[in-house]
Chains A and B, each alone.
Chain A
Amino acid sequence: MRFVLRRLGFFVLTLWVALTLNFLLPRMMPGNPALAVIGKFRGGISPQAVKVLEAQFGVGSHQSLVSQYFSYLGNVATFKFGSSLTTQPGASVGRIVLDAIPWTLGLVGVTTVLAFVLGTGIGIVAAWRRGGRLDSIMPPLFVIMTVIPYFWLGLVLILVFGVKLKWLPYFFSYNYTLTPGFTPSFIGNVAEHAILPAFTLLITTIGTWILTMRNTMITTLAEDYVRMARAKGLPGYRIMLDYAARNAILPNLTGFAMSLGFVVGGAILIEVVFNYQGVGYMLLQAVNNLDYPLMQALFLLISVAVLVAILLSDIATAVLDPRTRGAK
């Protein structure tokens, strides 16, 4: 219980830091971003939006930084994120974000879980068949696979399977001509559009799971209780799964949480490359259009999502491994 409370405290602290960064960054940068936007889109933004923007970045405001800060925190707490300036002028930022979430959850969420399960499984088998063909080829291969930039692999897959072979679609998440709905043809179309981006994410993330799992599993296989299990004459698969893998999976679970930040970051680029209208694509749209209210809301959303995932995995680790409960 104390462990969970401590993690909860850390969660709140990190959340506060993310919020504060969001508030302070534009104010710390050379040249006020609000003025940059107003300058760039002169006339393109309604006077009302200009006022909101000025308030948001404290231009010509007589309020002190501290009171600006508290009104910012209040706005966030009540989910007042303002309205989009340039991406979809006038639309509520909350609406845009809510529209983007399901696409990202569907694509990145499913693929991440799949990569975790597959990668852990392959890692178990690779460590078990130590020195076998699978094990001797894989580590160097996956070391290299983990350094492939997500976006570049996406580009190459588009080049090969989209442009040259014309096998798969690579633009947007469904065909513009279809009307969205729960019809078989629409769902099939969405699935087809998801293949290339999902595959990109899978290839680039699976290596980490395999390597961590394999390396921990190798250490575990040398433990006495594994030798004991062998001596008892237990079937191989039971030793592999119930004795070795079960004890070796914890670092992978913690790693799962830690790497989520990277996965989310990489997924942003994949959505950008495939013009897939999820959270990451929207973030980049906001950045390119200097749509700061939208950008800030999306950064907060991504941070909160990652922090919640880490909190959950911390709790899961505490439940699964009693040793962590007492540890700092």
Chain B
Amino acid sequence: MAMLRAPRGPGEPGSGTEPGQLTPLVIPGAGGLPTGLPLAGRGGIAGARALRRMARAITSNRKATAGMVLLVFFILVGLFPGVIAHDDPNAETYRRFMGLSLHHLLGTTALGQDMFAQVVWGARPVLLIAFGVGVGATVIAMLIGVASAYLGGVWDGGLSVITDVLLVIPLFPLLIVIGSYLHGAGTLVMIAVITATGWSYTARQLRAQALSLRNRDFLEAARVRGERSLYIIVVEIIPTMTSLIVASFLTNALYAVLFSSSLQFIGLGDPSVTSWGTMLYWAQNNEAFQVAPLWIIVPGLCIVSLGAAFALLNYAFDEIGNPALRPVRSMRGNRVKRPG
């Protein structure tokens, strides 16, 4: 296993040529340009550079490549489900529990729906929720985390307490309680509820990162110029944190996939929306165990694969940010073992 990685090691763009840390991204802002230049542009450059660096990282890190391929695959399925599956996922037109055949690649459900069509169409709501929550929760986390770190004092105290309180209240039970009052949450409601409750973890990470930037010269320069706090937060600080923001998007998207599927599984989603979670809900309520095990296995595998896509990307970014975690050849392991 380790041997396969060997040829990559030294030439890996993420390893030797760059420090690999998340923080050095701010350096261009700290020195280089004299004040008074169009500063929005500079922030944009820092962000774009980080994105380019990430694109390179995705191609050079195998975990990231695997995650990206999976994600792109599901996005394509979610965008064009009609091209892949020809049946209407909700039409109860066939016999119940038909076996596998060319017309019904996965057979039919207890209600006579084509299961393959359901799996294919089921990708869309999950992706919508993942991206909706990913973006929404990250924006909230970004604004609250950075504002908290940058403004300091009473603001920091207040915002941090809100973040911490939300962080320790058990989320899933809270979602169940909210779901029970809502009676069948559709995709949009699901996005809103998970976003509103789920941003705190990443807000805390972003705050920690922003705290380390607080006393940098380029922020001091902006302050001296008399920029407003909102401008400094949005234009000066946030673009320098691109890698961490992408990481928090991935974290939030992953939790959205798992939470929404779980809620749908226990019947708190909108049962008429075809998604992997609701498929499992109907499967469990129709004795799929005995007759149609695929009804349980396939939607679950889809949830796991989509979740793994986000998790692998996130883990790869962790490795890129922290070179110590990257896979090593067994050489060092041998040296370590010798004394024992």
Contact = CB atoms under 8 A, between A and B. Distances in A.
A284 B325 contact: no
A114 interface: no
B339 A143 contact: no
B179 A152 contact: no
Contacts of B297: 156, 159
A262 interface: yes
Interface SS of chain B: helix
B102 interface: no
A316 B143 CA distance: 33
Contact of B303 (A10, A152, A287, A292): A152
Contacts of B300: 149, 152, 155-156
B162 to A, nearest CB: 9
Interface of B: 1-2, 63, 161, 164-165, 167-174, 176-183, 254, 257-258, 261-262, 265-268, 280, 284, 289-290, 293, 296-297, 300, 303-304, 307-308, 310-312, 315, 318, 322, 324-325, 327-333, 336-337, 339-340
Contacts of A131: 2, 327-333
Contacts of B328: 130-131
Given A25-B178, A262-B171, 18 more contacts: A14-B165, A21-B169, A130-B328, A133-B1, A144-B304, A151-B266, A156-B297, A261-B169, A264-B170, A265-B170, A265-B173, A265-B262, A272-B266, A292-B180, A296-B177, A303-B170, A303-B173, A306-B170
A129 interface: yes
Interface in A274-295: 283-284, 287-288, 290, 292, 295
Q: Which of B182, B325, B331 has the most chain A CB atoms inside 10 A of its CB?
A: B325
B327 A235 contact: no
Contacts of A203: none
A215 B324 CA distance: 8
A163 B164 CA distance: 44
A234 B340 CA distance: 8
Contacts of B304: 144, 147-149, 152
Contact of B340 (A151, A235, A302): A235
26 contacts: A13-B165, A14-B168, A22-B177, A26-B181, A130-B333, A131-B328, A131-B330, A131-B331, A132-B330, A143-B63, A148-B307, A149-B303, A152-B304, A155-B284, A237-B340, A239-B339, A240-B340, A258-B167, A261-B168, A261-B170, A264-B173, A265-B173, A268-B173, A299-B173, A303-B169, A306-B169
B280 A29 contact: no
Contact of B332 (A130, A151, A237): A130
Nearest to A153: B300
B172 A262 contact: yes
Given A235-B339, A237-B340, A269 B171 contact: no
Contacts of A75: none
A283 B173 contact: yes
B171 A261 contact: yes
A143 B315 CA distance: 8
A236 interface: yes
Contacts of B169: 14, 17-18, 21, 261, 303, 306
B60 to A, nearest CB: 16
Interface in A199-250: 215, 218-219, 222, 230, 233-237, 239-240
B152 to A, nearest CB: 12
Interface in A99-137: 128-133, 135-137
Contacts of A222: 324
A237 B337 CA distance: 10
Contacts of A94: none
Contacts of A239: 339
B183 A152 contact: no
A158 interface: yes
Contacts of A137: 1
Contact of A156 (B296, B312, B329): B296
Interface SS of chain A: helix
A278 B264 CA distance: 21
Contacts of A22: 177
A149 to B, nearest CB: 6
Nearest to A302: B173
Interface residues of A, number: 77
A219 B290 CA distance: 49
When A and B form their complex, which 7 residue pairs have the shortest distance between CB atoms, in order from nearest?
A: A236-B340, A265-B172, A147-B307, A152-B300, A261-B170, A131-B333, A29-B181
Nearest to A328: B160
A197 interface: no
A235 B339 CA distance: 6
A29 B172 contact: no
B173 A10 contact: no
A151 B259 CA distance: 11
Contacts of A139: 315
Contact of B268 (A234, A273, A287): A287
A290 B176 CA distance: 12
B3 to A, nearest CB: 10
B180 A149 contact: no
A310 interface: yes
A143 B19 CA distance: 25
A328 B173 CA distance: 29
A147 B250 CA distance: 13
Contact of B172 (A130, A156, A266): A266
A40 B325 CA distance: 56
A147 B324 contact: no
Contacts of A265: 170-173, 262
A58 interface: no
Q: Which of B318, B322, B333 has the most chain A CB atoms inside 10 A of its CB?
A: B333
Nearest to B310: A147
B62 to A, nearest CB: 9
Nearest to A22: B177
Nearest to A280: B173
Contact of B176 (A130, A148, A283): A283
A147 B2 CA distance: 24
Contacts of B168: 14, 258, 261, 306-307, 310
